Amino acid sequence: MQYINLGKTGLKVSRICLGTMTYGSPQWRDWVLPEAESRPFIQRALEAGINFFDTADMYSKGVSEKVLGRSLKDLAQRDQVVIATKVYNPMGPGPNDRGLSRKHIFDSIDASLRRLQSDYVDLYQIHRWDDETPIEETLEALHDVVKSGKVRYIGASSMYAWQFAKALYTADLHGWTRFISMQNHYNLVYREEEREMLPLCRDQGIGVIPWSPLARGFLAGNRQQRGDGATARAKSDDFAHRLYYEEGDFQVVDRVVELAKNRGVAPAQIALAWLLHQPGVTAPIIGASKLQHLEDAIAAIDLALDATELAALEQPYRPHPVLGHG
């Protein structure tokens, strides 16, 4: 396994992060694996040297955090793993059960720690931008949970570059804890982040940990322009249909599949290897519902693509509207 600093911090993370939205309760999403079926993925990740695990309070309404917490408690030493979780999305029916207010952040970090069975979270991320809460209130609350020892570092997720720049500037202005990472939507069929967000992150020393690096399985090459695809998630994932499935997207996938055949590897390995070659990308967050998915991700770390191959993969791309901020 290769390790890399997360942004300009001293925190070392594996080049692949295992995302755990797939693990929790099938009652939340029909493609989610229950705990007994989830644990082998976490165990295999640890065996492969993956030390970076990402979850969120909203995944399976907290059950994902519970599954990850119990698994890591049984299978790993706490100080040898990096646990990331998130706050923002609704966790109850009340008006203060969501967002990035001081109240919700304080309540949410305590609830996440209970579910994770941990005294602290290594990386606490705001899941989205909150238009209803001043960024000063959010940043001071996050600074306070860091100073309390409940959180080691803070990160952000999908938003506009101007919003992220404002947050970084505001933290610097007040001497508050700064975001060290950006978890954004970035893959071969959605590259709009290359315009502003990625240059900003490189300039500011922010680690980039993209979500949906395989475009929710689209880049695995098993989707059809007519029909939903081969997997349970492909058939029920309406969100993916809103993100991808343009004609140009399928042209990109055709290039991925063609190169995969030439190289004798799975298309997922090609798509992940491309992402790992992009300047500033720290660790794609991969989901795995089959152990082969995880093995492909691990193999992608050592898959070198040359300039001609990279250019061939990128050439069919067509611009998209902003997707994934909501």
124 is catalytic: no
Q: What gap in Å lies between CA 285 and CA 57, rounded to an integer?
A: 16
What would the pLDDT profile of 217-249 be if each residue is shown by its tens digit?
899 887 655 545 555 555 555 555 566 777 889
Residue 140 φ then ψ, to 5°:
-65, -40
Closest CA to 35 of 8, 61, 71: 71
Rounded-to-integer distance, Cα 85 and Cα 305, Å: 32
Q: Which CATH architecture has domain 3-219+268-304?
A: Alpha-Beta Barrel (3.20)
Q: Which residues of the chain have pLDDT under 70?
A: 223-243
Chain-centre distance for alpha carbon 264: 27
DSSP bridge pairs for 17: 285
* Cα–Cα dist 47/259, whole Å: 29
Quote the pLDDT of residue 143.
98
CA–CA separation, 48 and 50 (whole Å): 6
**Active-site entry in 23, 59, 186, 317:** 59
Q: Roughly what angle, to the nearest 10 degrees, separates helices 291-300 and 267-276? A: 40
Q: Phi/psi at 187 (nearest 5 deg)? A: -165, 180
What is the token pair recorded at 213?
């690096």
CA of 153: how far to CAs of 76, 82, 100, 250, in Å?
A: 21, 11, 17, 38
Rounded distance, CA 313 to CA 306, Å? 11
Q: Is there a contact between 101 and 133 (Cβ–Cβ < 8 Å)? A: yes
Note the pTM of the prediction, 2 decimals.
0.93
How many angstroms separate the Cα of 47 from the Cα of each of 12, 76, 93, 173, 298? 17, 10, 40, 43, 11
Contacts of 166 (CB under 8 A, 6+ apart): 135
**195 Cβ contact partners less than 8 Å away, ≥ 6 residues apart:** none
Structure tokens at 300: 């992608």
Contact 274, 305 (CB under 8 A): yes
Cα three-residue angle 118-3-212, rounded to 5 degrees: 75
pLDDT, position 18: 98
CA-closest candidate to residue 12, choices 225, 316, 309, 283: 283
Which amino acid is residue 69, in one-letter code? G
User: CA 224, CA 234: separation in Å to the nearest integer?
Assistant: 10
Residue 314 CA to residue 186 CA, distance in Å, equals: 13
- DSSP-derived 3-state class of residue 139: helix
Report whether 40 contacts 5 (CB < 8 A).
Answer: no
